[in-house]
Chain A
């Protein structure tokens, strides 16, 4: 009963779910893998990445705004896409690659959709560390190398926890999910 209440409290808000990936990863992964939380973590990481693009690439939006004003609609879109690519390409590769890896390692309990959700949770620290790094860099302190180490290590640790979560699934649940 208490566990169910805790799950629903964390499940309810975007900010709580994202926060749980950082400070209560086991809970976040369990919720993400549960029927009630299905699909939440993928939309959460998508929203976080979009917000990160807006917060980190504001000059792109200003440039695109000028282009829209000058009537270069397709060019404005191209500038936004090209500019966002450098920020989004690595998370997307890791999401897809991580999901396939997790599915392979999960053995008979694999479920590609649920494994993808778990990897979305595991990737959250990487994005958050990048945001913190950007904030520190604005203060003139270069911690790029440290942030890369911390971000990837943290996400790799969550990926291991995600593997544990995937391998704990009851076999019947994976069959039901695949149906």
Chain B
């Protein structure tokens, strides 16, 4: 068999592999299409629980989103290495101090797992000491389809997602949008 014939056949074999992968993965994506939809406004907030990170950086008792029914909850998914997350933390601190006495809870979910708990605690104590800090092993992030961080949501008193924000944009616009969304729910 000549080199060009062998090359052509090898090329077609690569096409076949690509086609098979596209068919299988594409079929799965079509089948799971609804579950791939990011959590959006109007949807019920997915039920999740995650351990709290205590003041000394160790993991404490579990937090469950169901315990916040009747309250307005701001949920922020973040990581210690994420610059925009760090920049947004003082905004969350401002929300927690301004609206905390009106029943608004700010929940900060660190997405790096228990290994980063101490680091997350130190950063939160420095930038947003009034927010509640949780450690996520990936379950909550998967439930909320967190693909990029920071990823913030506001859940109303009935447990429905009312506002979703991905990325930072600017600190000023985040502060304004977050405040407006909370005021509308109080």
B-binding residues in A (CB < 8 A): 6, 9-10, 13-20, 22-24, 27-28, 48, 51-52, 54-59, 61-63, 66-67, 70, 72, 74-75, 78-79, 82-83, 128, 131-132, 134-135, 138
Contact = CB atoms under 8 A, between A and B. Distances in A.
B25 A75 contact: no
B6 A23 contact: yes
- Residue of A13, A51, A55, A78 with highest tally of chain B CB at under 10 A: A55
A64 to B, nearest CB: 9
Contact of A20 (B3, B12, B29): B3
Nearest to A139: B24
Interface in B11-32: 11-15, 17-18, 20-22, 24-26, 28-30, 32
B167 A19 contact: no
Contacts, number: 119
Taking residues whose C-beta sits less than 8 angstroms from the other chain, chain B's interface range is 35 or more
Interface of B: 2-4, 6-15, 17-18, 20-22, 24-26, 28-30, 32-33, 36-38, 40, 145, 147-148, 166-167
Contacts of A82: 147-148
- Residue of B8, B9, B166 with highest tally of chain A CB at under 10 A: B8
Contacts of B6: 19, 23-24
Contacts of A63: 36-38, 145, 147
A16 B25 contact: no
A56 B25 contact: yes
Contacts of A13: 8, 11
Given A15-B8, A75-B166, A62 B14 contact: no
B3 A54 contact: no
Given A27-B3, A66-B38, A135-B17, A79 B148 contact: yes
Q: At the interface, is chain A mostly helix, strand, loop or mixed?
A: helix
13 contacts: A6-B4, A15-B11, A19-B11, A23-B3, A23-B6, A55-B25, A57-B25, A58-B29, A59-B29, A62-B33, A62-B36, A78-B166, A134-B21
A16 B148 CA distance: 39
Nearest to B41: A70
Contacts of A74: 167
A3 to B, nearest CB: 11
- Residue of A16, A18, A82 with highest tally of chain B CB at under 10 A: A16
A9 B63 CA distance: 66
Given A55-B21, A132-B17, A61 B3 contact: no
Contacts of A54: 22
Contact of B29 (A9, A27, A61): A61
Contacts of B38: 63, 66-67, 70
B10 A59 contact: no
A78 B177 CA distance: 21
